[in-house]
Chains A and B, each alone.
Chain A
Amino acid sequence: MNLKKLLLNGRVLLLILVIVGSILTIIAQGITYGLDISGGVEITVQLEKPVDQSTMEEVRISLENRLNTLGVKDITLEPWGDQIIKIRVANVTEEEANSIIDTINRQGVFYAEFNGVIFATGADIKRVDQVSYEPREGAWIVPFSISKEAAEKFAQLALGKVGYPVDIFLDPPVNSTLIVSQEIYTLMNSNEFQFVPDAKPLPQRLKEAFNIDVVPYTNQSVEEIAKLAQGKEKVILVGVNGELESTLKNLGIKVEKREPRAGEAADEFIRRILGLYGPYRLQEGLTTGEPHTELAISIGGSKEDIAAMRQAQVVSVVLRSGSLPVKVFVEGVNYIPPTLGEQFRKQVVQAGIVALLVVGLIVYLHYRKARIAIPVVLTSLSEVIAILGVAALIRWNLDLPSIAGIIAAIGTGVDQQIVITDELLGGRKKEKITKRSGVLKRMGRAFFVIWASATTTIVAMSFLFKFFVGGLRGFAFTTILGVLIGILITRPAYAEIAKVLLSEER
């Protein structure tokens, strides 16, 4: 067999390079699976009316902040067009998925609290102005105004309390018991959240304002903790390991668990659990007893300090979130339990292998030649690898429709290989001697059919890709990708291989 000549053929070489590259990419990057395979929930949130891009961004940040307090990992929020936000959360339990849905459906609850007293809620925020940089103070400023009543209440509370901490909260875990690790308990009572010795420590402020009990975990028995939870809405375990969660659940107590994320500092972790922004140091001008309706929160940092600017934007969104710029509704929910997704993936892989074998068998039965059946199967397999390689490269979310698309593309791929094979074979049977021009003419005819059908498939699928919001873009994407890889790389290579293999036979 003229293997060397075959391997040195440009088209075959290209195919080999693509396969090797794809395998390396898949190994290096791994394949990202869609939620219907990895398990998780996809929530489609619809805005009441179409909005411009900056409002969309505001809604997105606001939802993100609120969902972040839930302690669920891997939340992605993706705006689609001007009216839809897709929220995907991988690998969550049913309950977690439900609490996410609840949080979205609920309006954000905003509180401003000082020394254990709530002085303003979302309804008191009258206006939030643009975030701006104030060079004199060396800080990013979020100006806002509050109602007259809130201003008066605050003036009384703040009288003479320079430097005291002012807290703002978004969706705090009202009326609950927090069981926290010793380390976190110490940090909550530290200067980080208190600023001045005379101010009330954070746990005390939480207790007085929101009836949140913060209890350090010192190996209390389950019964003791159950007692602490009496009359409370839920128990939240904060950085506490062990089997408390399930034992408490068995007692019929609502338990939630929060763990720090990778790279998350302990103080950030505490803020996230509480939905706490700040605390901010109370400036002298506000401690005279005079009510001020125009206030501002300043976040120190230089003009180039992106982190400070981003923080200021978050605060601005939080201030507004008591009333989102537009109402949002949960319009669609798609929940797949992680175990089920795993099962689907296995089945699809099995189905793919069986499909390839069946194709090989039918091709063999038709031509009675292993030297046709094997290259056909191998070419299809290489097409699958190339599609997966590209998917891995661009981190395409491979969901079930995407996989169906791969198999559909393989279907057309095999079809086209058969067209090529038949043109090659048909030529010989008739003419006995294969003239070079004859082969070229036949190949031309085969490739005319291939190009025409590939173009129509790509055109048809492009519209699907462009117009669908749903998961079926994946189907369109992999089909188009498969057809492109087919006509540009695998089909020409197969034609070369088939020419060599079939001419050798005689």
Chain B
Amino acid sequence: MLENTLKKLATADPKKMITYPLIVFLVALLILVIHFPTLGTDLKGGVVITIHGGNADAKDVESLLKAENFEVTVREIKSITGDTRVEVRASTDVNVQRIIELIKSKYPDAAISQTQFGPSLSRTAQEQSLKAVSLAFLGMAVVVFLFFRVPVPSLTVIFSALSDMTIALALMSIFGLELTQATIAALLMLIGYSVDSNILLTTKLLRRKEDTVEEAYFSAVSTGFTMSTTTLGALASLWAISQAEVIDMIAAVLIFGLLADFMNTWILNAGVLRWYIQRGEKK
């Protein structure tokens, strides 16, 4: 079945091939315009108190704290392994120590971790993130150009990375993942993964003159699929086994991005490249 799909793709009209990923990209943009992922505590400021174990229950915690007039939001996060953790969020001006005391007296066995980010620190983090992301993206673009030195393929690789990041962001918004320093790092890592598969495809199609375009495409797809599945496998095990939030979030964002990259490399980029090669042949 997969082979048939691939055959269809390899012989499809390049312009049609390009349309679908572009639509997905636009939809992702639309989602981001309507609902951008919420900023995490480290970018927005605030307090997060996490209760690990100890049979804590989100509803009980909430009523416990509301009884003392704390303005908090409480949610429960279940992992695959069946462990739950309860997350209490509040603004920076609450008395964190009192909240922890209350929780401790009710759940003496729980391990409680806390994170606080003041307003100016989170502002700094925001500025740094913006700077890091934009410069990393520019740097990537320059490197891609230097390696290929041809405008159309280079631009496609760059757009592909941009689209991967945009779609991953949109998926974050849909699944309620927050934009934190950790997820931003993962988004930047996507640049690396995205360029990986795209460069593979571009090199094979443009430089491998001994094969036909279809053959080169097949060979690239076969390599690319193995690459992506191994990476997805590794990330999925990381996500499933670890309960540390940082790791879970990084893994999830990379998974989103890799899925987007499937489409962007093997349909969008392949489409553009075939169109580019056809045009070259006509000339």
Q: Which residue numbers of A lie inside 8 Å of B, CB to CB?
A: 36, 44, 46, 84, 94, 98, 329-337, 339-340, 343-344, 347-348, 350-352, 354-356, 358-359, 361-363, 366, 400-401, 403-404, 407-408, 410-412, 414-416, 418-419, 422, 426, 430, 445, 448-449, 451-453, 455-457, 459-464, 466-472, 475-476, 479, 483
Provide the bound-state CA to CA distance between A414 and B139, in Å.
Answer: 24
Chain B min CB distance to A327 (Å): 12
Give the complex CA separation of A335 and B118 in angstroms.
15
In the bound assembly, the distance between CA atoms of A468 and B191 in angstroms comes to 18
Interface pair A332/B118, CB less than 8 Å apart: yes
**Which of B10-18, B68-76, B130-138, B262-270 makes up part of the contact surface?**
B130-138
Interface residues of B in 109-142 (CB under 8 A from A): 111-118, 120-121, 124-125, 128-129, 131-132, 135-137, 139-140, 142
Tell me, rounded to whole Å, the shortest Cβ–Cβ distance linking A165 to chain B.
38
User: B115, B182, B235: which contacts A411 (Cβ < 8 A)?
Assistant: B235
Contact A403 B247 (CB under 8 A): yes
Q: Are B147 and A452 in contact (CB under 8 A)?
A: yes
- Top 4 A-B pairs ranked by shortest CB distance? A457-B192, A331-B118, A459-B139, A355-B234
**In the complex, A362→B235 CA distance in Å?**
13
B230 at interface by CB-CB < 8 Å: yes
Interface segment out of the listed B1-9, B55-63, B220-228, B274-282: B220-228
Q: Are B227 and A333 in contact (CB under 8 A)?
A: no
* Structural contact, A460 and B121, CB atoms closer than 8 A: no
Inter-chain contact A459/B223, CB cutoff 8 Å: no
Give the contacting residue for B233; candidates A344, A362, A418; CB below 8 A. Answer: A362
Chain B residues with CB under 8 Å of A468's CB are 125, 128-129, 132, 181, 185
- Are B243 and A459 in contact, with the CB atoms below 8 A? no
Residues of B contacting A334 in the complex (Cβ-Cβ under 8 angstroms): 113-116
* CB neighbours of B179 from chain A (8 A): none
Given A456-B195, A479-B189, A426 and B243 touching (CB < 8 A)?
no
In the complex, the answer to whether A449 meets B199 with C-beta atoms within 8 Å is yes
Nearest-CB residue, chain B, relative to A44: B121
Q: How far, in Å, is A266 (CB) from chain B's closest CB?
A: 34
Assuming the contacts A449-B199, A470-B181, A479-B189, asked whether A358 and B118 have C-beta atoms less than 8 A apart, the reply is no
Q: How far is the CB of A435 from chain B (nearest CB, A)?
A: 12
Contacts of A452 in B (CB 8 A): 143-144, 147, 195, 199
- Judged by a CB distance under 8 angstroms, whether B250 is at the interface is yes
**Identity of the chain A residue whose Cβ is nearest the Cβ of B229 in the assembled complex:** A362
Q: How far is the CB of B251 from chain A (nearest CB, A)?
A: 7
Chain A residues whose C-beta falls within 8 Å of the C-beta of B195 in the assembled complex: 452-453, 456-457
- Given A331-B118, A332-B118, A337-B112, are A404 and B250 also a contact pair (CB < 8 Å)? yes
Interface centre among B118, B131, B143, B231 (most CB of A within 10 A): B231
Q: Which residues of B contact A404 (CB under 8 A)?
A: 182, 238, 246-247, 250-251
In the complex, are the beta carbons of B234 and A358 less than 8 A apart? Answer: yes
Could you say which residues of chain B place their CB within 8 Å of the CB of A470?
A: 42, 125, 181
Known contacts A464-B132, A468-B181: A457-B244 contact under CB 8 Å = no
Q: Is the CB of B230 within 8 A of A453?
A: no
Residues of A within 8 A of B197 (CB): 415
* Number of interface residues, chain B, beta carbon within 8 A: 74
Report whether over half of chain A's contact residues are helix, strand or loop; otherwise say mixed: helix
Q: List 18 A-B contacts (CB under 8 A).
A: A46-B118, A332-B117, A334-B113, A334-B115, A335-B112, A336-B113, A366-B226, A407-B235, A414-B227, A414-B231, A414-B234, A448-B207, A456-B140, A457-B192, A460-B191, A463-B135, A468-B125, A470-B125
The answer to whether A98 touches B135, judged by C-beta atoms less than 8 angstroms apart, is no
Q: Which residues of B contact A407 (CB under 8 A)?
A: 234-235, 238
By the criterion CB–CB under 8 Å, are B132 and A331 in contact? no
The answer to whether A414 touches B230 (Cβ under 8 A) is yes
Q: With the chains together, A479 CA to B190 CA distance in Å?
A: 12
Q: Which of B139-155 contact A (CB under 8 A)?
A: 139-140, 142-144, 147
Inter-chain pairs besides A366-B226, A404-B250, 16 sampled, C-beta below 8 Å:
A94-B104, A330-B116, A333-B115, A337-B112, A351-B238, A355-B238, A363-B230, A412-B193, A415-B196, A452-B199, A455-B147, A457-B189, A460-B188, A464-B185, A464-B188, A471-B181
Query: Considering only CB atoms, which chain B residue lies closest to A399 in the complex?
Result: B246
Q: Is the CB of A330 within 8 A of B118?
A: yes
- Among residues of B, the one whose C-beta sits closest to the C-beta of A42 is B115
- Give the residue of A339, A355, A366, A456 whose beta carbon is less than 8 angstroms from that of B192: A456
Q: How far is the CA of A475 from the CA of B226 in the complex (A)?
A: 25
The answer to whether A351 touches B185, judged by C-beta atoms less than 8 angstroms apart, is no
Bound together, the chains give a CA A471 to CA B180 distance in angstroms of 12
Chain A residues near B246: list those with CB within 8 A: 36, 400-401, 404
Contact call B192/A461, Cβ cutoff below 8 A: yes
| Chain B residues near A363 (CB-CB < 8 A) | 226, 230
Q: How many Å from the CB of B207 to the closest CB on chain A?
A: 6
Known: A355-B238, A464-B132. A401 touches B185 (CB 8 A): yes
B196: chain A residues within 8 A (beta carbon): 412, 415-416, 449, 453
Q: What string of 1s and 0s marks CB contacts (under 8 Å) between B87-120 and chain A?
A: 0000000001100100010000001111111101
Closest beta carbon of chain B to A178's beta carbon, Å: 25
* Beta-carbon contact of B244 and A472 below 8 Å: no
B230 lies within 8 A of A359 (CB): yes
Q: How far is the CA of A407 from the CA of B121 in the complex (A)?
A: 29
Closest to A465 in B: B132
Question: CB < 8 Å: which of B124, B199, B211, B238 contacts A453?
Answer: B199
Among A359, A426, A460, contact of B219 (Cβ-Cβ < 8 Å): A426
